[in-house]
Amino acid sequence: MVAKAKVIVKDRGLAAIQKVMRTGVGDLRVGVQKDKALDPHPGTGIPLGQLAAIHEFGAHAAGIPERPFIRRSFAKRRKDYEKAIGKAGALIFKPGGKGDSNRKKALAALLRVGNKMARDFQNNIKADNLRLRRIKPATLKARLKNKRPNPLQDSTALLKAITATVTPTRRG
């Protein structure tokens, strides 16, 4: 005698969870965004994206040391950022959400994390500005001669250009 069994598959959300895990919630980008990257710095005319790269990696041929405002933030706070991003992403799975409400909450939380990261990057630049006020007298004399006492402080354009954006991932 052959026993017959009927298998009933009830998807209790596993397919939706797998889809989110594959596609993610959103793309978080922090730094000088593409809409500001080509804007010229008011004091030098250098595009702000290039100026950010010069700060981050230096321009050794021009005698400009690196002043890493992004890498320094990650070195200090990487675990905090990862934990906060994980919590933001987990909001999409929170029970009780209706429709897209959990997705919207997750995207908003990601943007809050990004804004915190942007503030950390800006604070690192500000800290460098304070540190660079203590420069050698000969360097200060040369800069005053060129009417640029501290090129890092002649504008807040770079600070204002550092922002965070979140783009929702496609749900396809």
DSSP 25: S
Give the pLDDT band of residue 43 (cuts 50, 70, 90).
confident
- Whole-model pTM: value is 0.74
User: CA-CA distance, 59 to 40, in Å (whole number)?
Assistant: 18
Give the pLDDT band of residue 62 (cuts 50, 70, 90).
confident
What percentage of the chain exceeds 70 in pLDDT? 74
Query: Which pLDDT value is given to residue 57?
Result: 92
pLDDT digits 0-9 by tens, 89-101: 888 777 666 657 7
164: nearest Cα among 122, 104, 102, 101: 122
- List residues bridging with 30 in a β-sheet: 164
User: CA-CA distance, 158 to 145, in Å (whole number)?
Assistant: 24
For residue 44, the tally of other CB atoms under 10 A from its CB is 15
